[in-house]
Structure 1
Amino acid sequence: MFDWRKALNGGLVIPAHPLALTAERKLDERRQRALSRYYLDAGAGGLAVGVHTTQFQIRDPKVGLFREVLSLAAGAMDGLDVVRVAGICGPTHQAVQEAQTARSLGYHAGLLSLAALAQAPVAELVEHARAVGEVMPLIGFYLQPAVGGRRLPREFWREFAALPSVVAIKIAPFHRYQTLDVLRGVAESGRASEIALYTGNDDHIVLDLLSHWTLDGHELHFAGGLLGHWSVWALRAVELLARIQALRAAGGAAGPEWFELAEQTTEANAALFDATNSFAGCIAGLHEILRRQGLLEGTWCLDPEEGLSPGQSEELDRICRLYPHLTDDEFVARNRDKWLN
């Protein structure tokens, strides 16, 4: 039987799954399946579905795509030893229902967003997590405030990490001080050895994965990544993590080429996520790469106001021209028809 917790602790590439839409902004089931097949064939160790990159609006009753999108991805993962992560959102009653839906579809863990509890005190947040954790194992989620998250202090992370239901944390505040808040909280929780840390800092991917901390006598490092950035060029993400894991296993030190790659990756993310415009085009930028590769038909989002920002397409052109080694266009071209069939 697949030991998904052992796999999660070992370190995986987990792309945050986008949403494939038609020009009418309806679910494109064929392309939605194709995306899942792409990530899995690239070597991803899991999929995160119903998360920010999938667009939180899939939960809107007028849209009603939460269960359907999770079900399509679950079907693509059937028979494979991969970790299934479902995004869980909303106030407690909604989050519990979403967790029940995810569990019924065979998902292993819920990535818990706390954006809906924007003003709740720490004690309420912890009780919320405790309630959802009674339904399924939890992955904590520090979502950056620029796209709907909230500030979460070290006290919260200490109490959250102490919950037995917590198996991992995706750290994605895009902020070094706040990243350290999570690390310190986990170290103080008494469960540091039981919780897998995953980078969600798409602006700091390579250096997060290369870093190591000793806090209160606990050794901490990022096992892998659960990233929107990895919803594109997934083959390169798999290769990157494998190289870093090999470097770590050999006890080697990162040479200057790693720091150059880190800065190139961050520059690429700035274009993908539209950092210039406060991340307004962060989902559309990912869609644009997938559109260029033929996996998506267009860049449409559920919200008609969401799209590429002025100049973002040109920035993507520049990144692809300067850093072709970050892309996996040839891999996609060889397999695209199979995935779309």
Structure 2
Amino acid sequence: MTDTPWENLRHGGVIPAHPLALDANRQLSERHQRALSRYYLDAGAIGVAVGVHTTQFEIRDHGLLRPVLELAAEEASTHPSDPFMVAGAIGPTAQAVAEAELARDLGYHAVLLGLAALKDQSEDALIAHCDAVAQVMPVIGFYLQPAVGGQTLPYSFWRRFAQIENVVAIKIAPFNRYKTLDVVRAVVDARAEERITLYTGNDDHIVADLLTAFSFPRDGQSVTVRIKGGLLGHWAVWTKRAVEMLNDIHTNQAGRSASEWLSLDARVTDANGVLFDVRNDFAGCIAAIHEVLRRQGLLPGIWCLNPKETLGPGQMDELERIYRDCPELRDDAFVAKNLERWLAA
């Protein structure tokens, strides 16, 4: 790991989307919330993303946005790795700007800017919105898949977005190869590849995204860029293994062949399909993450703020299958070794 949070971001790393720890009364469990942050940072994540979908957008309606951001910031401030801290910012422009200001005041480095609330806006309006937030603090763009509330954002949007000077990264998560290429090509055509670091959010294609060298012609020469890391809800579980995998990809220390890497990609995608409850249109994606963390002792239960948000039909059986078939993806021993310390005051 390099010397500063910004160098770590540019080098590429694991950034888990931080869950929300609730007790049986659906109240914030500060002890478990801190334990999660400690787990991610000790596992080697270069930072965490807080106030995002995995944290549950409803925290804003329950007065929990500031407390949850504060808890993660406090843990990061004492961790020797000097983490890169990302806060989610959503809603109309006034709300997104206010959330960016809060994140800035709490010491976060950048905001992951969600655009789902502006689905009906023109491209000009979207760019103006992004620019307004970028005036407050550095922005990480977010291409969210339509199946969970995102919208199709064309190449023209991403090229203009990449030209905003305070954009530092893009999380590419349309779950679509064509749309992923739109973003990468737009960054190259905007001559922003040195300033903007690409991160995958394509949970259906994590390993292959990280392995691929993307090349596009520009000025008569080929420009090659890579997706350097991931900002993922999937990496909120089994984080130590994700860090080891990404380090292997960066250095090829594992010595895997191309076919072996692609085989791993398929296994990770299979596991993700279970965690994200693809068979039930992603209904149980947060609850399944909670279930894995509950089994490890990092959460007291799988409760969400919305009582209706729980595991989907058949999802528990599928989790048992993944536990049986993919033991190499789990980091249970690492968690067990450190759990008591993470849960300490």
After TM superposition, the score normalised by the length of structure 2 is 0.95
| In the alignment, structure 1 residue 69 sits paired with structure 2 residue 74 | no
| In the alignment, structure 1 residue 232 sits paired with structure 2 residue 237 | yes
1:45 and 1:85 map into 2 onto residues whose CA distance is 11
Instruction: Give per-residue Cα distances to partners, 1:7-50, cap 9 Å, x unaligned.
Output: 21101110000000111111111100000000011111111101
SS of residue paired to 1:224: strand
1:164 maps to a residue whose letter is: E
| In the alignment, structure 1 residue 3 sits paired with structure 2 residue 8 | no
1:191 maps to a residue whose letter is: A
1:65 maps to a residue whose letter is: L
| In the alignment, structure 1 residue 98 sits paired with structure 2 residue 99 | yes
SS of residue paired to 1:194: coil
| In the alignment, structure 1 residue 312 sits paired with structure 2 residue 315 | yes
Deviation at 1:218, TM superposition (A): 2.2
Instruction: Give per-residue Cα distances to partners, 1:267-294, cap 9 Å, x unaligned.
Output: 0000000000110101111011001111
1:247 aligns with 252
1:147 maps to a residue whose letter is: V
Deviation at 1:162, TM superposition (A): 0.5
2:195 aligns with 194
1:242 and 1:281 map into 2 onto residues whose CA distance is 30
Unpaired runs of 5+ residues, structure 1, are: none
1:330 is aligned, of 324, 329, 333, to 333
Deviation at 1:106, TM superposition (A): 0.3
* Superposition CA RMSD, Å: 1.5
1:211 and 1:181 map into 2 onto residues whose CA distance is 15
1:66 maps to a residue whose letter is: L
2:65 maps to a residue whose letter is: F
1:276 is aligned, of 279, 282, 305, to 279
SS of residue paired to 2:252: helix
Instruction: Give per-residue Cα distances to partners, 1:44-80, cap 9 Å, x unaligned.
Output: 11111011111111112xx011111000000110144
Deviation at 1:158, TM superposition (A): 0.3
Counterparts of residues 104-123 of structure 1 (less than 5 Å): 104-123=105-124
2:225 aligns with 220
Whether the aligned pair in 2 keeps the contact of 1:224 and 1:241 (CA below 8 Å) is yes
SS of residue paired to 2:171: strand
1:93 maps to a residue whose letter is: A
- Percent identity between the two aligned chains: 59
1:103 maps to a residue whose letter is: R
1:339 aligns with 342
2:46 and 2:293 map into 1 onto residues whose CA distance is 20
Deviation at 1:102, TM superposition (A): 0.2
1:9 and 1:94 map into 2 onto residues whose CA distance is 28
| In the alignment, structure 1 residue 138 sits paired with structure 2 residue 139 | yes
2:293 aligns with 290
Deviation at 1:2, TM superposition (A): 5.6
Deviation at 1:253, TM superposition (A): 8.0
Deviation at 1:255, TM superposition (A): 2.7
SS of residue paired to 2:194: helix
1:181 and 1:317 map into 2 onto residues whose CA distance is 37
Greater Cα offset, 180-189 or 315-324: 180-189
1:84 aligns with 85
Deviation at 1:247, TM superposition (A): 2.2
After TM superposition, the score normalised by the length of structure 1 is 0.96
Greater Cα offset, 209-218 or 326-335: 209-218
Deviation at 1:185, TM superposition (A): 1.3
2:148 maps to a residue whose letter is: V
Deviation at 1:254, TM superposition (A): 4.1
1:13 and 1:172 map into 2 onto residues whose CA distance is 15
1:170 aligns with 171
2:327 and 2:7 map into 1 onto residues whose CA distance is 34
Unpaired runs of 5+ residues, structure 2, are: none
Whether the aligned pair in 2 keeps the contact of 1:210 and 1:254 (CA below 8 Å) is no
1:210 aligns with 211
SS of residue paired to 1:192: coil
1:8 maps to a residue whose letter is: L
2:314 and 2:257 map into 1 onto residues whose CA distance is 34
Whether the aligned pair in 2 keeps the contact of 1:32 and 1:72 (CA below 8 Å) is yes
1:52 maps to a residue whose letter is: H
Whether the aligned pair in 2 keeps the contact of 1:192 and 1:218 (CA below 8 Å) is no
Instruction: Give per-residue Cα distances to partners, 1:166-196, cap 9 Å, x unaligned.
Output: 0000001111111111112111212122110
SS of residue paired to 1:306: coil
Instruction: Give per-residue Cα distances to partners, 1:116-139, cap 9 Å, x unaligned.
Output: 101111111110010000100000
Whether the aligned pair in 1 keeps the contact of 2:280 and 2:313 (CA below 8 Å) is no
- The verdict on how the C-alpha distance between 1:163 and 1:279 changes in structure 2, with shifts beyond 3 A counting, is same
Counterparts of residues 258-269 of structure 1 (less than 5 Å): 258-269=261-272
2:46 and 2:14 map into 1 onto residues whose CA distance is 5
1:38 and 1:237 map into 2 onto residues whose CA distance is 13
